[in-house]
Amino acid sequence: MYLIVGLGNPEVRYYKTFHNLGFLTAGDVAEKLGAKFKKTKCEAKICLTKSGHSDVLIARPLTYMNSSGRAVKGLMAAYHLLPSDLIVIYDDYDLPKGTIRIRKSGGPGTHNGMRSVVSEIGSTDFVRIRIGIRDDKIDVPILDYVLSEVREEDHETYLKACQSAAEAAVRISSGEALDLVMQDYNGQNLT
């Protein structure tokens, strides 16, 4: 079984912010796999489905971004999953807007949600799909930026980025070789 987690914040006021791109992408994954978020478990909205021959659990933590790891740890324990079963999707200020970057492992970088996940599960050995959000034309503090709404002129770019990230997650969870998926998506710029 794979656990695909889209990081974000649960309140409606955060829905269109950069920090909710993981949530939005988890919804795109669910849609692609014909699933709906109907249950709540371990502080997350979840849905169970299949991708290829694999069982897939898709989750949106309800713990707020900075405590995302609590929900991830709870779900991993409840479903007896290992870090190698985990795929986390999130916005990343360290990458230019509209880019996708998939990694097999690594540190959390500047992302507080990822810091929480790494801290709670005690591992950095899990797949992460990062959606770049940095726009060098905008000069505001990171915290203000990630909690701001995606600008109207960038809406299409981020819709495409979320769709690409969702496609990558579906391909990985269906058993496709991670290196091949990384080759197809890493560095992809949708601006």
pLDDT in tens, 91-138: 999 999 999 999 999 999 889 999 999 999 999 999 999 999 999 888
SS (H, E, C) 39-102: EEECCEEEEEEEECCEEEEEEEECCCHHHHHHHHHHHHHHCCCCHHHEEEEEEEEEEECCEEEE
Decide if pLDDT at 74 tops 90.
yes
Look at phi and psi of residue 99 and say left if phi exceeds 0, alpha if psi is from -120 to 50, else beta: beta
For residues 121 and 74, give the distance between their C-alpha atoms in angstroms, rounded to a whole number: 9
Is residue 156 helix, strand or coil?
helix
Task: Decide: 68 and 112 in contact? Cβ < 8 Å.
Answer: no
pLDDT in tens, 164-177: 999 999 999 999 99
pTM of the model: 0.95
Decide if pLDDT at 44 tops 90.
yes
CB contact set of 140 (below 8 Å; sequence gap of 6+):
148
Torsion of CA 31, 33, 37, 39, to 10 degrees: 170
Q: What value does the mean pLDDT take over residues 9-14?
A: 93
For residues 160 and 163, give the distance between their C-alpha atoms in angstroms, rounded to a whole number: 5
List the catalytic residues. Answer: 19
At 16, the pLDDT band (50, 70, 90 cuts) reads very high
Q: Quote the tokens at residue 166.
A: 């969702």
pLDDT in tens, 133-188: 999 888 888 889 999 999 999 999 999 999 999 999 999 999 999 999 999 999 77
pLDDT at position 41? 98
Amino acid at 102: I
pLDDT at position 180? 96
